[in-house]
Amino acid sequence: MADYGAAVSQKGYDVKTCADRFLVYSSAFPILKIFSVVAITGVVPDGASADFTANAGTDYLTSAAHGLANGDQLNFLTSGTIPGGLTILEYNYPHGGHLYYVINKTANTFQVSLTLGGSAVDITSAGAGTHTWYRDTTKIISTHDLGYLAPVIISYNGSTSIGVANSYFMSDSVYLQLWIRQYADRTEIYIFNPDNGTTTPGATVYFTIYQFLDSFDTIAANTINAGTTLGLSSQDYGFRISKPGYDVKTCTDEQCVLSSSFFTNIIHMKGAVAGTADPIVVTHGLGYIPSFLSYLKPTGKTFYTLANEFISVNTNTLDSYPNEGDVLYYVIFKSKSI
């Protein structure tokens, strides 16, 4: 019997002709269905920097002949106390602070906003010490309307400097130094020191974001269908649609269209666990090295960052150096081909 299922096109696409990434398929197993595949680009910053002073009365920053343009993204540092209203983007875990966009620039002054073309940040004090702005980091935003923090896989697809022949999933520092922030309506990618400094400033860098339909906020069980194999288990479930003239509650298989159970990966485990000073260890017991996604929510932060990932046959050490109180969210997949 053929392997039937159901397909629903995303808004604006014809279900009969659209590509797979624009379809949402029925599933007999709880899998992470793709919500969207988005190609995005960013521009490598030029690394320029200069000192500035802040005026709490006008909300303007003064930096002689700064050369900045409206829309440029800036990070700040200080030798003393940062002016009130501003934050410093922290590269080291757990990643605090913000990048700012230049607005209302003149030859020697400018204001900054948290959003592109947005309102000016309220500067509440001049701070103390020497303050410096930097163009050393780029933030790229991919928006969505899921309403929760959904998992993503990010592929770095090269740049105009190094070429685009290779792609790297969840790219490590060998190729690109990046970290992400997740929100209910967007995913933000921050890149700095691209390709260990070998990418030319001003070059375009290319990414693909795979956004999934799942929420780490709703975790009902630690193990899901652990014993299911190739559609033969009584736990192999889905949904069915009756053919015209038949009752969906009583029709035989031949009279119904059944959802498909033959997907490559199913969710074996998912969960959340609070961190300690020791590595966070999740024992999966599969007997082989599985695929998985893992994100760490630092204490007091509103976003997820990629966890440090070390894989073994029976145990995943999903984060090697969590801070106490950090929460690890994870999904471990079971391969149906094993």
Is pLDDT of 102 > 80? Answer: yes
Instruction: Give the range among 178-182, 232-236, 315-319 with minimum mean pLDDT.
Output: 232-236
Query: Which pLDDT score, from 0 to 100, does residue 265 have?
Result: 63
* H-helix or E-strand spanning residue 94: none
d(CA 19, CA 83): 50
pLDDT of the residue at 271: 82
pTM greater than 0.95: no
Q: Does residue 135 have a pLDDT over 70?
A: yes
140: tokens are 């790229």
Would the pLDDT of 17 be above 60?
A: yes
Alpha-carbon span 280 to 273, nearest angstrom: 8
pLDDT value of position 95? 80
Q: Is the pLDDT of residue 1 over 50?
A: no
Among 213, 153, 209, 211, CA closest to 30: 213
When comparing pLDDT for 193 and 8, which is higher?
Answer: 193
Render pLDDT for 253-264 as a digit per residue (tens, 0 to 9). 556 654 444 445
pLDDT tens digits along 200-220: 899 998 888 888 877 766 544
280 versus 81: the higher-pLDDT residue is 81
* Of residues 318 and 237, more confidently modeled: 318
Q: Which residue has the higher pLDDT, 186 or 176?
A: 186
Q: Return the structure tokens found at 301.
A: 């932060």
Amino acid 148: pLDDT: 81
CATH fold of the domain at 48-135: Elongation Factor Tu (Ef-tu); domain 3 (2.40.30)
pLDDT, average across residues 77-84: 97
More confident residue, 211 or 233: 211
Q: Say what the pLDDT of residue 31 is.
A: 54
Can you give the pLDDT at residue 32?
65
Pairing relationship of beta strands 310-311 and 315-319 according to DSSP bridges: antiparallel
Percent of the chain with pLDDT over 90: 28
Instruction: State phi, psi for 21 to the nearest 5 degrees.
Output: -70, -10
Confidence at residue 219, expressed as pLDDT on a 0 to 100 scale? 43
Q: Any idea what DSSP says for residue 314? A: S
- What are the pLDDT digits (tens) for 150-168? 888 888 888 888 888 767 6
